[in-house]
Amino acid sequence: MAKIKDPLLFSQYHGIDPDSLDAAGLIDPFVDVDTQLFIDPVLLEKSGTQAIRENAHRMFRSHFSDFVRLLAISRAEGDAAWKGARRLLDLQEPPENGLGYGGSGRSGSSRPDEIREKMMRTASEIIELGADDPEMISLMGFFEEDIGPDTISDFTTRVILPVLAALTEEFCVAQGIPVTETDVSGDHRLPTFVDGAGRTKPLLLVPSDIVRELPVANDWSDIEAAACENERIRTRVNAMLAGIARPTISDRKYALRRAALGSSEDFQTFLDAVKEHTAYYDKSVDALGYYRLRALFAKGMDGLSTGAAYNFAAGPEEIRRLVHDTLEVFRHHVENGNLWEELWIGDKPKKERAAQLIYYAIADCYCRANNVDISPEANMGGGPVDFKFSQGYAARVLVEMKRSSGTVRHGYARQLEIYRDASQTNFGIFVVMDFGDLGDKLAQITEIRNARIACGEQASDIILIDATRKASASKRH
């Protein structure tokens, strides 16, 4: 993943009041970092923006009606009709809307051809049942393990791009933001930004009521919940999972597929259930802390900085000291301030992503002030570590953040060590966010750490942050 430096909001970059975007019902995206939200085509017909509700929804259905028609007349994979349908399923990631899992630079990427073929085979299977609703394409993430909501979002963006471009141009002209002709849309001019390499890139704005949060890799429950609101679907899924003690995501997707693809009636029931119960990202709940993160960047993070000076010429230990300072500020504001409130929805902890995003906002101000690179979700060979801090090749510190309800022991004993080995660094910091259900996990990982130190081995640091609900600041003093 490319390194992220100096994240900027669209409103900051173009010098406008962020409230103007809210008033227009538009997301205020980062111009150089993907926002962890995705466009759900199921939400198009529910949008409060007329152009989306009518034009974009009609465009989506028309496009995939052609897709369904071509698959219906195809007699074999690779024939003319199959190839025609393939051309209509564009999985190229659009770099213009700033949504998804990507990092800085926001450069688009193509997904493997086999994913597109898998989606086409599933759609063909649905058509053979007798179903022909073009919005079947929005459900592919339920049935196939390699197809996530970001994939659905990307091909939806491609199809409705003319409407998004028109909305973007209209807003920018009204706000006095410069727009220019681009390769993205021949009919509409778009705003641009100049990245760190001096390249000019176009931007698309997206209505806030057609996006939902991207789920973390192992959290299938939120995706599944909408479909299983229907009693018939829920009963069939539960029956198929009855003999499995701890069903995996693959098990659940297989069960959903079997439940939904039993007949055309079953599929329509499934599709109707998803449409009825799918809702856009709720700003008041802010499950991922996106709006809190946006507010932190918009207001600036200078108030969270310390006057500490770092001598990075002395070696990677100074990077480690800086990272500990960032974590201490984060811990202080969670435990002693009101930042814990941003980590809860009522009496339920928010997703792990919320804590990670807010910590990232705090850590970034240190990194910018000290010319240190911070890479969220950097791939370390064994998978993505939450954060990598570095200056040059040799000075690297990795940070892994876990919720107390998660696999804390495995994360410390195995996961972080794999990342450290892959990164060729001795410095790792394991952060445990305690939401009140830690049990004896801290004692377990402390014992592992002490045993490693006793054997003369390197052992990653452990930081515990009390993220439990607290009384208001006024009642604590």
* In the chain, where the domains are located: 10-213, 290-476
Which of 269-278, 397-406, 445-454 is predicted with the least confidence, judged by mean pLDDT? Answer: 269-278
Distance CA 474, CA 477 (A): 6
Q: Specify whether the CB–CB gap between 88 and 70 falls below 8 A.
A: yes
- 295 contact partners, CB below 8 Å, separation of at least 6: none
Strands 348-349 and 344-345: antiparallel
Contact by Cβ (8 Å): 34, 98: yes
375 phi/psi in degrees, rounded to 5: -120, 105
pLDDT tens-digit series, residues 279-294: 888 877 776 677 776 7
**What percent of the chain is predicted at pLDDT more than 90?**
34
**Residue among 60, 220, 85 at smallest CA distance from 152:** 60
250-309 tens-digit pLDDT: 787 788 888 888 888 888 888 888 888 788 888 777 766 777 767 766 665 545 555 567
CA-to-CA dists, residue 206 to 10, 110, 148, 160, angstroms: 12, 21, 19, 11
For residue 466, which amino acid is it? D
Residue 238 structure tokens: 């539960």
Average of pLDDT values for 426-450? 92
- The alpha carbons of the chain give a radius of gyration, in whole angstroms, of 24
Q: Tokens 């081995």 — which residue?
A: 457
pLDDT on residue 112:
66
* pLDDT interval class at 69 (50, 70, 90): very high
State mean pLDDT over 107-135.
82
pLDDT band at 164 (very low <50, low <70, confident <90, very high): very high
- Compute the Cα dihedral for 157, 163, 168, 169 and give only its sign: positive
